[in-house]
Chains A and B, each alone.
Chain A
Amino acid sequence: MEEIVLETQNLTVYYNGRPAIEGISLRIPRRRITAIIGPSGCGKSTLLRCFNRMNDLIPSARVTGRVLFEGVDLYGPDVDVVEVRRRIGMVFQKPNPFPKSIYENVAFGPRIQGIRDRRKLDEIVERCLRAAALWDEVKDKLHQNALTLSGGQQQRLCIARALATEPEVLLMDEPASALDPIATMKIEDLMRELAREYTIVIVTHNMQQAARVSDYTAFMLAGEDRVGRLIEFGPTQQIFTRPRDRRTEDYITGRFG
């Protein structure tokens, strides 16, 4: 049996009082890649953003149910949201490096936690850029503006930046959807590499990508009421070859979405 890192229990998210996702119960195993798939508007990103409480930034959002991170309810009263986001990193759909140097992008997380020592920062920057398979490409231009990098490099920089706060979980919201096929391949290889140490949850609407990289797959779907629900969750192999639910089969065989 896998060790569970993140678990949602009957999770419902409301925007302006209307549910966007409803009754989601899901268990995410440690050091595995879990893909959340489903057609547009089914609430994949909303679910992902519950894991690091990014939904807090949307004033009209309200969350019921529980999200357990190593057994602790992330929405509990004593939880420090800043600490949650440090331990659960996030990579966004569109690469969003800060308009600063490559070095400063990676050093930002450690810096705001109060790490000032230059040697320590140097060490973190190098380690994270290596982990994100970007070091060899940028080691001679660490102090160049990050926006001079290509889209794929920028996205790997964002991954390096997320790793610098030493998270246990990496949330990735369609991290390759804005990239070309070669850059996408690099990101996927990198994810397999990172899964040795980190738990990864990836939202993707690219089923081939989910099938290629993930160990577990969750399929979500919004019904007529436009409320997203979890239809099926299981090992990726099983979801793609022997889905239990008819709707899952329809989706993965390309009959809709």
Chain B
Amino acid sequence: MERRQRREIAGKVFEAVALTATVFGLVVLAMLLFDVARRGLGVLSWSFFTRYPSRFPEQAGIRSALLGTVWVMALTALFSVPVGVAAAIYLEEYAPRNRLTRFIELNINNLAGVPSIIYGLLGLELFVRGLKLERSVLAGALTLSLLILPILIAASREALRAVPMSLREAAFALGATRWQVIRHQVLPLALPGILTGMILALSRAIGETAPLITIGALTFIAFDPKGPLDKFTVLPIQIFNWVSRPQAGFHARAAGAILVLLAVLLSMNGLAIYLRYRLQRRYQW
């Protein structure tokens, strides 16, 4: 009897510990959100979105940073998604299972763990100096593409692997070529997973500051980036800059910009969930 009681108490204690851990994470997050909202909600106005940065806190806005973020994200998605998905398809559907393949896989996984500033240094050498792209949107997007490729490849492979082998066999047995099997059966089923992975990878990229500072993205941009070769800044860099200023007015601006960044991030994640839900309903089995 006593032993059984002890076991039950141990179970209860563990449950309490696990619950505390969960609540702790949530509470910290809620406090953070609350604090940022308290400080930042006041500055959110139409002019905050339409004005360029300024020496005067009350006139400073996020126009160029928001546009820069949109530009960089769009180009990053454009470069990284086709390459990442194609690499995942090759590794899952075509690559022979040999040592070279395993070596490539191992290194892709390692790349996912490389600190982002290292990618910044790589981008600086390769894109800014090597390809002479200067401190352009293009150089930033290419750098971030490299950064999120390992994540994208891993997520896409996961999604491809989740497609049952029996469906591939069924299609092969009907005389489909490997590409037809992939195009008509495997990809449509893997698409929700690939899309989710893509959005999560882009969410990682949208918050990155270090690699973009490393390649020399500026903090004071008083014009709209109009093309891939223009100079740019992004929201995290603008936030970083404002936070490091002494004036309280800039801190409020930083909190406002954080709210905007969070809103963009949350809507991206929301979109990922929605897409996964919709596509899964269409193809459930």
Give residues in A with beta carbon < 8 Å to B.
52, 54, 57, 59, 82-86, 89-90, 92, 94, 96-100, 108-109, 112-113, 145, 147, 158, 161-162, 164-165
Known: A82-B177, A112-B184, A162-B174. A99 touches B169 (CB 8 A): no
Which residue of chain A has its CB nearest to the CB of B170? A96
What is the bound-complex CA distance between A85 and B174, given in angstroms? 6
5 interchain residue pairs of minimum CB distance:
A86-B175, A99-B285, A90-B173, A96-B166, A109-B174
A89 lies within 8 A of B173 (CB): yes
A59, A82, A100: the one within 8 Å of B175 (CB): A82
Q: Which residues of B contact A83 (CB under 8 A)?
A: 175
| B46 interface residue (CB < 8 Å to A) | no
A59 to B93, CA, bound (A): 12
Inter-chain contact count A-B, CB under 8 Å?
A: 68
A112 near B167: Cβ-Cβ < 8 Å: no
- In addition to A82-B177, A97-B170, A164-B174, 8 A-B residue pairs with Cβ atoms within 8 Å of each other are A86-B175, A92-B170, A100-B283, A108-B171, A108-B176, A108-B184, A109-B175, A113-B175
User: Hey, what's the 0/1 contact readout for B163-206 against A, CB within 8 Å counting as 1?
Assistant: 01011111111111100100011000100000000000000000
Min Cβ gap A147→B in Å is 5
Residue of B nearest to A93 (CB): B166
The residue in chain B whose Cβ has the minimal distance to the Cβ of A52 is B173
17 inter-chain pairs at a CB distance below 8 angstroms, sorted by A residue, are: A57-B168, A57-B169, A85-B174, A86-B175, A92-B173, A98-B167, A98-B171, A99-B189, A99-B283, A108-B174, A112-B176, A112-B177, A112-B184, A113-B175, A161-B174, A162-B173, A165-B174
- B residues at A contact (CB < 8 Å): 96-97, 164, 166-177, 180, 184-185, 189, 283-285
Cα A108 to Cα B180 in complex, Å, equals 10
Complex formed: what's the CA distance from A85 to B173 in Å? 5
Question: Nearest B residue to A100 by beta-carbon distance?
Answer: B283
Query: What CA separation (Å) do A84 and B280 show in the bound complex?
Result: 34
Given A99-B285, A108-B174, A112-B176 in contact, is the A92-B96 Cβ separation under 8 Å?
A: no
Instruction: Report yes or no: B172 in contact with A112, Cβ–Cβ below 8 A.
Output: no
With contact pairs A83-B175, A92-B169, A165-B174 given, residues A99 and B284 touching in the complex (Cβ less than 8 Å): yes
B92 to chain A, nearest CB (A): 13
A89-B174 in contact given A59-B96, A99-B284, A112-B184 (Cβ < 8 Å): yes
